[in-house]
């Protein structure tokens, strides 16, 4: 069962998204097109970011993901933080991204996981590479 924890500001969502996107070293060159060089350098060094860095990352993610975010952020959205039990993850649906829909028209997370477990390629295999990289460093903490 999904438990909504609290409402969050759009800035928090953008910062989380930017943090996820730009923690990937494969994105650093792209990030340098949207954020000041010193911010990119601090991210590469793993130095904690200050408020100015976070604001720069908000601007960067808005530009980097503009085709997706422009329409989304124009909507009157109320963002929330939620906690999910592991068993609830299988019912989640992912965004209607062409490469996902192509291999799993249902867009249900558990169906995408099955495709990955079968070593079928998603998005030319790049998605698979990223999932394997993330999985290698993923730590699950059970309550």
Q: What pLDDT does residue 115 have?
A: 92
Q: What pLDDT does residue 60 have?
A: 92
Quick: pLDDT tens for 110-124.
999 899 999 899 988
Would you say residue 6 has pLDDT above 60?
yes
Q: What pLDDT does residue 1 have?
A: 62
CB distance 39 to 49 below 8 Å:
yes
Q: Which pLDDT band holds residue 2 (cuts at 50, 70, 90)? A: low
Quick: pLDDT tens for 43-97.
888 777 899 999 999 999 999 999 888 888 999 988 988 888 888 887 888 888 8
CB distance 59 to 35 below 8 Å:
yes
| Tokens (6 digits) for 18 | 């930017």
What proportion of the chain, given as a percentage, has pLDDT over 70? 93
Write the CB contacts of 116 (distance below 8 Å, at least 6 apart in sequence). 122, 128, 131
What proportion of the chain, given as a percentage, has pLDDT over 90? 29
Average pLDDT for the chain: 85
Rounded Cα–Cα distance for residues 8 and 5 (Å): 9
Would you say residue 143 has pLDDT above 70?
no
């Amino acid at each position: 069962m999904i438990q909504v924890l609290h409402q969050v500001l759009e800035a928090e969502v953008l910062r989380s998204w930017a943090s996820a996107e730009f923690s990937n070293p494969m994105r650093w060159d792209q990030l340098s097109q949207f954020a000041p060089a010193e911010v990119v350098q601090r991210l590469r060094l793993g130095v904690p970011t200050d408020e100015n860095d976070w604001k720069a990352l908000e601007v960067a993610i808005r530009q980097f993901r503009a085709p997706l975010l422009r329409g989304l952020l124009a909507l009157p959205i109320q963002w929330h933080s939620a906690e999910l039990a592991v068993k609830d993850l299988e019912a989640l649906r992912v965004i209607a991204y062409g490469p996902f829909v192509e291999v799993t028209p249902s867009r249900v997370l558990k169906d995408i996981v099955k495709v990955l477990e079968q070593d079928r390629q998603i998005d030319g295999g790049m998605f698979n590479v990223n999932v394997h990289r993330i999985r290698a460093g993923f730590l699950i903490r059970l309550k």
